[in-house]
Amino acid sequence: MSNQLSERINSLVPSATLEMAAKARELRASGKDIIGLSLGEPDFNTPDYIKEAAIQAINDGYNSYTPVDGYVELKDAIITKFKRDNNIAYERPQIVVSTGAKQALYNVAQACINKGDEVILPCPYWVSYSDIVKLSDGIPVEVETSIENDFKMTAEQLEAAITPKTKMLWYSSPCNPSGSIYSKEELRALADVLQKHPQIVVVSDEIYEHINYGVTPHASMAAFEDMYDRTVTVNGVAKAFAMTGWRIGYIGAPAHIARACNKLQGQVTSGANCIAQRAVITALLESPNRVQYMVDEFKNRRKLILELLNGIDGFKCNEPEGAFYVYPDVTAFFGKTLNGKTINNASDFAMYLLEEANVATVTGDAFGNGNSIRISYAASEDDIKEAISRIAQAVK
């Protein structure tokens, strides 16, 4: 039967984050008491002022197709947001609203990558980057980083990874899965390297921008004048506003790239959901301070989970500065046999935790770095305490 399917789809691997979340749901439905720390999804409700804007939009009769690249009022709100939060000046033709940041990333890949083009991905990278690149016939070029350098790529590493075929660099800051944040100076050092290679387009995924614990301020590549013309800034409302299911993401980009994304989206999905778009106008125009209470809560949970994990022999954690994941190095367990099961790699370890501790996490292999597992702390303190205590018990 698989010959009925394309080679493209046969070689595509499922999203490991979504797959693990589905597996946890399945096990839960079969009666198992699973704690899900696999999915990057805030456990908060969407704030009332945003919900009310959506209800208002329904009552106001918003039900038609929207412009493919989004309502003008939403594009203007995005322009205001980019200026206010990132000091980037975009104009309407540079903005495209999509069905989640995921579609925004897919659009950009399809718009920019030719067969055989290389795309540099500092590891660990967000799970879908490498498959989105491959779906566009690009070649992911993984750059290894280390926990000692807080999982950040240095300028020297970037320089060494560039070849005449390099077309793009993709990264997220704050980073999913490591929580690392590139400072303005670190981004400047990368930009200095890129100045010597004008063919390279940068995708700066800033979806965790507001989930920042205050050590390193957020910085945007496109805010550097000399990078503005070749940087695509990706963002969305899923994380900071607890709106994962509303499915709105967006880009600010050089106009020709935005135009290409608009053309593609017009043939594939059309404009994003009309009610969600109206609600996002409110989400973006209100002060980001209104969602700070969630960030404060994530910060408490980060402290808690780091304390608990650091108390278990074999877990080595960096201190994430943003997002809501810890990415402990678990190589100390490789080659060991626990409760009769041999752990050879991070995938074995994540599977072991699911089966023996009833805790769902995600293997680091999914993020291009097989030394770690990713644990989301977008969960209640009680769940975090119970999960880490079960993990401690299972690895004793």
Q: Which stretch binds ligand GLU (CB under 6 A): 12-20, 55-63, 247-255, 267-275?
A: 12-20
- For ligand GLU, the binding residue among 104, 127, 317, 326 (CB under 6 A) is 127
Cβ closer to ligand GLU: 162 or 384?
Answer: 384
Total chain residues near ligand GLU (CB under 6 A): 9
Give min distance, CB of 41 to ligand GLU, in A: 6
Question: Rounded distance, CA 19 to CA 24, Å?
Answer: 9
Between the alpha carbon of residue 6 and those of residues 102, 103, 133, 350, the distances in Å are 22, 21, 17, 31
Q: Which does 18 bind (CB under 5 to 8 A by kind): ligand GLU, ligand PMP, none?
A: ligand GLU
Between the alpha carbon of residue 186 and those of residues 73, 155, 203, 216, 303, the distances in Å are 35, 8, 16, 11, 25
Give min distance, CB of 145 to ligand GLU, in A: 18
- For ligand GLU, the binding residue among 24, 34, 36, 40 (CB under 6 A) is 40
> Phi and psi at residue 376, in whole multiples of 5°?
-85, 135
272: DSSP letter: P
Instruction: Pick out residues in 84-103 that bind ligand GLU (CB under 6 A).
Output: 102
- For ligand GLU, the binding residue among 17, 233, 363, 371 (CB under 6 A) is 17
Q: Which stretch binds ligand PMP (CB under 6 A): 96-104, 196-204, 333-341, 370-378?
A: 96-104
Q: Under the criterion CB under 6 A, does residue 126 sit at the interface with ligand PMP?
A: yes
Q: Which does 322 bind (CB under 5 to 8 A by kind): ligand PMP, ligand GLU, none?
A: none
**DSSP H or E run through 169:** strand 166-172
Q: Yes or no: say if 267 and 282 are a contact pair by the CB < 8 Å rule.
A: no
Question: Rounded distance, CA 309 to CA 314, Å?
Answer: 9
Number of C-beta neighbours around residue 164 at 10 A? 7
Q: Under the criterion CB under 6 A, does residue 347 sit at the interface with ligand GLU?
A: no
Helix extents (H) in the chain:
7-11, 16-29, 48-59, 72-86, 100-112, 128-135, 155-161, 184-194, 255-268, 274-285, 292-310, 346-357, 381-394
Cβ closer to ligand PMP: 68 or 343?
Answer: 68
Give min distance, CB of 341 to ligand PMP, in A: 30
Residue bearing tokens 């050590």: 215
Give the amino acid at 196: K
Q: Under the criterion CB under 6 A, does residue 238 sit at the interface with ligand PMP?
A: yes
What dihedral angle (degrees, nearest 10) is formed by the CA atoms of 155, 160, 166, 167?
A: 0
Question: Rounded distance, CA 178 to CA 110, Å?
Answer: 27
Cβ closer to ligand GLU: 102 or 167?
Answer: 102
- For ligand GLU, the binding residue among 15, 273, 347, 389 (CB under 6 A) is 15
Q: Under the criterion CB under 6 A, does residue 138 sit at the interface with ligand PMP?
A: no
- For ligand PMP, the binding residue among 40, 70, 328, 368 (CB under 6 A) is 40
Q: Which stretch binds ligand PMP (CB under 6 A): 45-53, 94-102, 181-189, 361-369?
A: 94-102
Q: Which residues bind ligand PMP (CB under 6 A)?
A: 40, 100-102, 126, 172, 176, 205, 207, 236, 238, 244, 249
